Chain A
Amino acid sequence: DAGVIQSPRHEVTEMGQEVTLRCKPISGHNSLFWYRQTMMRGLELLIYFNNNVPIDDSGMPEDRFSAKMPNASFSTLKIQPSEPRDSAVYFCASSADRVGAETQYFGPGTRLLVL
């Protein structure tokens, strides 16, 4: 199994630019999560999809952030416009949501630097 795939692995952009992060979950998993890791706040959940439908986006910091899951094998997290405080590592995770809290499997992350 290839695991969760994220691209790009690193992204450097200038303030005001649009950033798009991509994720391919593990095949057969029907839950997908986007997390952000910062020194100040640690690892925090941004948004949760189940069967391609956004279920909980309460962690999305503000309207500049949006996420989509057009099909079971692809999701994007977009930041428009980006700001320096968005610099962080963004992880995508997936799980096979059968009952309750199934184990989440993380991708390698995208390290974002906004100048």
Chain B
Amino acid sequence: SAVISQKPSRDICQRGTSLTIQCQVDSQVTMMFWYRQQPGQSLTLIATANQGSEATYESGFVIDKFPISRPNLTFSTLTVSNMSPEDSSIYLCSVEKGTSGTYNEQFFGPGTRLTVL
């Protein structure tokens, strides 16, 4: 597995502002992912963060709204831009960290709980 930390753990923000969420992993990983989980809902993939290249966004998510950085193999940031109350959610980063005989196993950070007023 992997030890993953996220900052901040929670925040309350005003409409129209932006928040940058950090994700730090204790070892180098190739694949990092950003998810959103709205109250009572399952996980929705926002984008895959690739080191050294542009992030790959899922349908319904765009770079202008959710810019992502991946400067190295242990760190990524997700920015939620020009926030509205609809962006209130839990944002989770995950990493793919397989061991021998496994693949696609993802491990999640503790999440960032965002409330937009």
Q: Do A and B bind each other?
A: no
Residues in B lying within 8 Å of A, measured CB to CB: none
Residues in A lying within 8 Å of B, measured CB to CB = none
